[in-house]
Amino acid sequence: MNIWFLGTGAGRPSKHRNVTAIALQLPEPSCGWWLFDAGEATQHQLMRTPLKLSKLEAVFVTHLHGDHIYGLPGLLSSRSFDGGISPVQLFGPPGLKRYMETVFEISGTQLDYELQIHEITDDEGFITDNGQVKVEAGQLDHRVPCFGYRITEHDQPGKLLVDKLKELGVEAGPLYGKLKQGESIALPNGTVVRTADVTGPIQAGRVVTVLGDTKPCGNAVKLAKDADLLVHEATFAAGLEEKAHEFGHCTTIDAAETAAKANAKRLVMTHFSGRYGNEDLIRLEEEAAERFTAVTAATDFMMIEIKREQR
């Protein structure tokens, strides 16, 4: 499971970064990817990654400010030209359906695939599960309705210990399949083999939290609880909390404190104001590290592998 930062800026593009878009590559057997927000020119950013539009399975919009959605109609339109024919799920705040339908109607755009639009209510929790991962949403504290998303991968059984199976006399074939599905099997000599006896440690599901624009709030901590990776906006540097909160945003310190309260394993900050160049990112990381040490300031095209723990 990998996460790509396609745009890490706030408000408008700058010389250093594009506006918000984040891609999450799903693990096998899906091998598809999900998109979180699509600011202006997101499809241009995609061209500089190995991600293919035809493999896009779902889009999650945090809120309807332009720097998070102006690139969405063009991207979805281009998917038809890129061979995309499978359905795409689109999730986001109320008004998203009207926005998309209006743009497509006025521009005469027709898609070669089904676009299934789901608007999230204020008290939404669970919103979808594709069999590999489930997604929950919670409302944040911004100037317009805005959501954060918690993506939880289902635990996977440990790998079969083939050498041990051979020692027990279990032949490869249907019996292996039963053990993989968690069923016990009985051998001709009466020995009962349980799955737990012949498999390695359970592969714990990974948790990724992607928050939209927000000032500090309880739902941000709730969505990020024990997350392997928390993506949090840090529009302003430390010391500008009053200005940040006035406009529904956070500082580096705010982001770090949320990560600490949530017991997240890693924090990646994004959505930086245009006043900060890439040369300022080290300072922004150092500010956050005073409250939460496992922190990274994202740059455009940064890719992070989210590794799986075993238990």
Task: Record the tokens describing residue 37, joined without a space.
Answer: 């927000």
Task: Record the tokens describing residue 76, joined without a space.
Answer: 């979805």
User: Residue 118: CB partners within 8 Å, gap ≥ 6?
Assistant: 89, 90, 91, 92, 127, 128
Residue 83 is given by DSSP the state: T
- Quick check: helix, strand or coil at residue 130? coil
Residue 55 is given by DSSP the state: G
Distance CA 120, CA 150 (A): 14
Task: Record the tokens describing residue 33, joined without a space.
Answer: 């990817």
300 catalytic residue (yes or no): no
Residue with tokens 């051979």: 166
Beta strand pairing status for 229-233 and 267-270?
parallel
Cβ atoms within 10 A of the Cβ of 166, count? Answer: 11
- Catalytic residue, chosen from 37, 67, 228, 254, is 67
Residue 280 is given by DSSP the state: G
R_g of the chain computed on alpha carbons: 22
CB-side neighbour CA atoms (13 Å) of 94: 7
Cβ atoms within 10 A of the Cβ of 101, count? Answer: 12
Cα-Cα-Cα-Cα dihedral sign, residues 272, 277, 282, 286: negative
- The residues that are catalytic are 67
